[in-house]
Amino acid sequence: METLSMWSLLVLTLPTENATARMRFWRALKAKGCGVLRDGIYLLPYSAQREAALRELSVAIGENGGTAYLLRAPSLDAEQDVEFRGLFDRSEDYATFIQSLTESRKTVAGQSESELRRLLRRVRKDYETIVAIDYFPDAGATRAEAALQDFVAHVDTVLSPGEPHSAERAIRPLAIADYQGRTWATRRHLWVDRVASAWLIRRFIDPDGRFLWLTSPDACPKNALGFDFDGAAFTHVGERVTFEVLLASFDLERDPALLRLGAMIHVMDVGGAPVPEAIGFEAIMAGARERAADDDALLDEMSRVLDSMYAHFAASAKSSDAGSRS
């Protein structure tokens, strides 16, 4: 027997004398993705979190001169369930989003790096806004996700020619003592994963190593240890970005502060669960690139930032550890 959906229903009248409040509440209902049964009757698929949000809204409506009643009820039968679910069809929203990607793609070649990164943030936010209220995802959601991934990959080829693809191979344990005084090489115009990997190499693996910034991965000398490009000694493996591969290769994953940094670099490079510090780090990185004369200067400046973040994460880990023992 098919399980029927449970719904939270909000029955309301909005204050007539306060146009600003009415508009604010209408926007709040739209932002939550509420379905409209008729004027003044809204519903959402039940969850404790969504119902709590509607309860807060109903209180605010009452405080502003309106009335609101919050109810909970299941669909009467399968036919009604299908009808109610149809109120949350986001296919038109996804189609509009995909069309916007098509239009944006035409402008990519003529934009600066900062403009492209703003564009990426905007399209990701637009996508996440739809996903957040897509309570019954279907094929439209799948098409939109694929279109977004394709768009991001296209922008990445413009921003970072030679961006590595993930390889499927074992990560061999390596001895730091065998990697001293070496030459390390990666693509020039450093960005997040490359600058963090270079910092990690200099700080924890090979303090006396020297770096080469390559115009192309093909220009990597045979005696150099390449990182963060296809075919390099150290590059993306499975779900790990280059920074994380270096951590695993040189047995540095036992350091909780480095793991915190790795999580931040991961989400900035390939996406994933948000990390609070990522937005600030990206802004600093973008500003540093505007100011730095070359990649050596950029690495020096960002190394100070990474040193500070590492110290902060290390202190947080120490405090958490002390708290768990007390």
Dmax (CA) for the chain in angstroms is: 77
Domain boundaries in the chain?
6-86, 91-159, 176-325
d(CA 162, CA 140) in angstroms, rounded, equals: 31
**The dihedral of CA 204, 206, 210, 212: what is its sign?**
negative
Angle 48-49-54 from CA coordinates, rounded to 5°: 95
Q: How long, in residues, is the chain?
A: 326
Residues with Cβ < 8 Å from 14, sequence gap 6 or more?
A: 21, 22, 25, 26, 61, 66
pLDDT score recorded for residue 2: 64
pLDDT score recorded for residue 320: 74
6-86 to CATH, choices 3.40.50.360, 3.30.70.240, 1.10.760.10, 3.40.50.300: 3.30.70.240
This prediction's pTM: 0.58
d(CA 281, CA 305) in angstroms, rounded, equals: 8
pLDDT score recorded for residue 256: 96
> Are the beta carbons of 195 and 213 closer than 8 angstroms?
no
If the chain, 326 residues long, is cut into consecutive pieces of 10 residues, what is the mean pLDDT of each piece?
87 87 92 94 96 95 93 95 96 95 88 85 93 94 88 77 78 96 94 96 98 92 94 93 97 97 91 85 87 95 97 90 64
pLDDT score recorded for residue 322: 64
Rg (CA), the chain: 25
